Amino acid sequence: MDFDWTTFVLEIINFLILVWILKRFLYQPVLGIITRRRAGIEKTLADAKRIETEASELKRKNERYLAEWEAEKEVAQAKLSAELATLRENKLVELEAHLNEEAARRRVLDERNRKDFERLCEEKGIAQGVTFTSKLLTRLASKELEQQLFSVLIEDLQNIREQDRHAVIEAAAEPELYVKVQSAFVLENEQQEVLSRLLNEITDRTLPIEFLVHSELISGLQIDIGPWILHANLRDELKVFSGVLRHAK
């Protein structure tokens, strides 16, 4: 247990120097690097916190935007629904009007078809009546009936109106005209002469007359003086009769 004062003093000095050495080369560098690392970590944490705050803010904004968009969407949907309802109502009104118009047109068309059908039936009835009458008159046709029709023709020619007489004269004025007289039965010579003389008197000239037999006339005569035709036979009377019936409707 010897105590050496030199060693004692030198140890104190050595220790103080060692404190300085370790402080200079160990504690300060290591604590500095630890402090810088802690600062970096704290900065990172602060950045993370800031980013988290910003993200929260963005999230809150997004949620607000979503809520606003949802509200706008509901308003737009309600508006669209109202517009669709109005449009549907208008379309229904238009459709109803169109249906009514179509029904009216259909009624008019049906009425026209019905009238056409009635007219067709009437024409058919008239045609059947004419046929029936024609067949009946064909069975009743005879020389005596034609004689009577000839008398009626002569009487009509004798009592011809002045206006018709001028028309006959104009028709007979054409050059190289000849008169064609058709009858259902063969005319006797006396009848031909009477008729020729009467026609010459009316036209005040001598006309070439050709007498023909045309059985389709049923009974009676037909005189063709150019464009002017005088009917006095059953066939043409039936035609006139049926035409009168048709026009009488």
Partner 1 sequence: MNAPAVVFYIGPFGITSVVVTTWGIMLVLGVSCWLVTRNLSLLKPGRLQTMLEGLVAAMEASIEAVLPGQAKQLLPFIATLWIYIVIANLTGLIPQLHSPTGHLSVTTGLAVLVFLSVHWFGIRSYGIRQYCKHYLSPTPLLLPFHLISEVTRTIALAVRLFGNIMSLELVALLVLLVAGLLVPVPLLMLHIVEALVQAYIFGMLALIYVAGALQSKQSKGNDL
| HEC readout, 61-85 | HHHHHHHHHHHHHHHHHHHHHHHHH
Task: Give the bridge partners for 209, in sequence order.
Answer: 179
Number of residues in contact with partner 1, rule: CB under 8 A?
32
Q: CA 195, CA 207: separation in Å to the nearest integer?
A: 11
Q: Which is nearer to partner 1, 40 or 125 (CB)?
A: 40
Antiparallel, parallel or unpaired: β 209-213 and 228-233: unpaired
Residue 36 makes contact with partner 1 by CB under 8 A: yes
Q: Which stretch binds partner 1 (CB under 8 A): 11-19, 114-122, 195-203, 221-229?
A: 11-19
Q: Which is nearer to partner 1, 14 or 148 (CB)?
A: 14
Please report how close the Cβ of residue 52 comes to partner 1 at its closest, in angstroms. Answer: 23
Q: Which is nearer to partner 1, 4 or 190 (CB)?
A: 4
Please report how close the Cβ of residue 49 comes to partner 1 at its closest, in angstroms. Answer: 21
**Integer CA distances (angstroms), 96 to 85, 88, 89, in order:** 16, 12, 10
CB-CB contact of 215 with 184 (8 Å): yes
Q: Which stretch binds partner 1 (CB under 8 A): 6-14, 97-105, 124-132, 228-236?
A: 6-14
Residue 82 makes contact with partner 1 by CB under 8 A: no
Q: Phi, psi (5° rounding) for residue 2?
A: -75, 140
Q: What is the length of the chain?
A: 249
Residue carrying the six token digits 């029904």? 103
Q: Which is nearer to partner 1, 6 or 159 (CB)?
A: 6
CB neighbours (10 Å) of residue 29? 11
Residue 136 makes contact with partner 1 by CB under 8 A: no
Q: Using CB under 8 A, which residues numbered 89 to 128 contact partner 1?
A: none
Please report how close the Cβ of residue 41 comes to partner 1 at its closest, in angstroms. Answer: 11
Listing DSSP states for 22-39 in one string gives HIIIIIHHHHHHHHHHHH
Please report how close the Cβ of residue 28 comes to partner 1 at its closest, in angstroms. Answer: 9
Q: Which is nearer to partner 1, 27 or 65 (CB)?
A: 27
Residue carrying the six token digits 């509901």? 74
Residue 44 makes contact with partner 1 by CB under 8 A: no
Q: Which residues bind partner 1 (CB under 8 A)?
A: 1-12, 14-19, 21-23, 25-27, 29-31, 33-34, 36-37, 40
